[in-house]
Structure 1
Amino acid sequence: MESELLVRRPTRKDVATIARVHVESWRETYRGLMSDGVLDDPDLVRHRERFWSEALTNPLYAQNRIAVAELDGSLVGVAMAGPALDPGGETTDQLYLIYTLATVHGRGAGASLLEAVLDPHACTGLWVADPNPRAQAFYRRHGFVGGKTKVEDGLREVWMTRPPTVRG
């Protein structure tokens, strides 16, 4: 029997599960790139719960587009996009985050989440860890190209942009 992927808007009831998936995917993705002290912080899930509670309930974030992915009823990914954080830059929108558990890599959850939160009419930018060849290849497959780099909290990142995919 084929697994069923569902992408939907999250609710307040999802906060704890989103936080757990967010932290678990960070640990899977960034181990060796980020400090173990950050990744193993016993309060990390609690901090992510506060973040997601604010993201889902605070009117300041009402313009953000958030989606979660479920596979067979279990939450396996999350994505959030919204207005570019650098107004006046080359992009109007920004993908703030997209995380899926390693167990679902290659099963379409990431692509479905990306489609759910990106505005095809917008020029969109994102920061991606470097090196992170899997994520960078994923973004290139979805029309993003690399550019400038930065180092923040010891993590090197590449700015990638995608022009509007729908005209008019």
Structure 2
Amino acid sequence: MIELRPAVSADAPALARVHVQSWAETYQGLMPDGFLSGMTSQTMQERRQTLWTQTLEEGQDVVLVAVQGGEVVGFASGGPTDFAGYDAELFTLYLLKSAQGTGIGRALVRELAQALGAAGHASLLLWVLNVNPTRGFYERLGGVLIGEKTVSVRGGELREVAYGWADVGALA
């Protein structure tokens, strides 16, 4: 049984763990090794825990967790954006590999869209690495390709693409 609920400050360590572990599971071989090793290090997990603690204490973003068997196996976050034509952004959607393909991601996106819509947001966008093997998930949810950018990272560059939904209610 999966429980979806708003994240609380006590979830920060679990958010950091899932964040780092999902990077390691998803991006091996898809980005520069030096960059990936930095993003999946113990130091990065500690930084992410601090950032998640701050984010949750500030309470400005919507952050949801998916809990299975008492363990956080995924999460999503979102909030306002200033991207032209869109007023909300899905900032993060991370699932442990064991939770992928189970419907948890879809449920998190749906719940996040409902929360953002209830907060008065009309549209939604997200950025995803163009080489992310789960990129098709956003297309299956009806996302329309609306932009792309290149980001310089240690050891190379990464390309990101943006998907948008003009009506956040379509996801809810």
Partner of 1:155: 158
Residue aligning to 2:90: 95
Identity fraction in percent: 35
Inter-partner Cα distance in structure 2 for 1:16 and 1:133? 26
| Structure with a larger share of its residues in helix | 2
Q: Does 1:108 align with 2:107?
A: no
Judge conservation of contact 1:63–1:83 (CA < 8 Å) in 2.
Answer: no
Distance in 2, Cα, partners of 1:64 & 1:50: 15
Q: Which aligned segments of 4 or more residues in structure 1 are displaced greater than 4 angstroms?
A: none
CA distance in 1, matches of 2:123, 2:44: 32
Distance 1:142 1:92 in 2: 19
Q: SS at 1:166's partner residue?
A: helix
Match of 1:164 in 2: 167
1:24 aligns with 21
Question: What is residue 39 of structure 1 aligned with on the other side?
Answer: 36
User: How far apart, in 1, do the equivalents of 2:95 and 2:142 lie?
Assistant: 19
1:103 shift after superposition: 0.7
Give the whole-Å Cα distance in 1 for the aligned partners of 2:30 and 2:112: 26
Give the 5 Å matches for 1:6-155.
6-41=3-38, 42=41, 43-58=43-58, 62-84=59-81, 86=82, 89-118=84-113, 119-120=116-117, 122-134=122-134, 136-152=135-151, 153=153, 154-155=157-158
C-alpha deviation, 1:165, in angstroms: 4.8
1:122 aligned partner, one-letter code: A
CA distance in structure 1 between the partners assigned to 2:12 and 2:32 by the alignment:
25
Q: C-alpha displacement at 1:90, in angstroms?
A: 1.0
SS of equivalent residue, structure 1 residue 82:
strand
**What's the Cα RMSD here?**
1.7
Which structure 2 segments of 5+ residues have no match?
none
Instruction: Provide the secondary structure at the position in 2 that maps to 1:34.
Output: coil
Contact 1:33–1:155 (CA under 8 A) maintained in structure 2: no
TM-score normalised by L of structure 2: 0.84
Separation in 2 of the partners of 1:22 and 1:166?
27
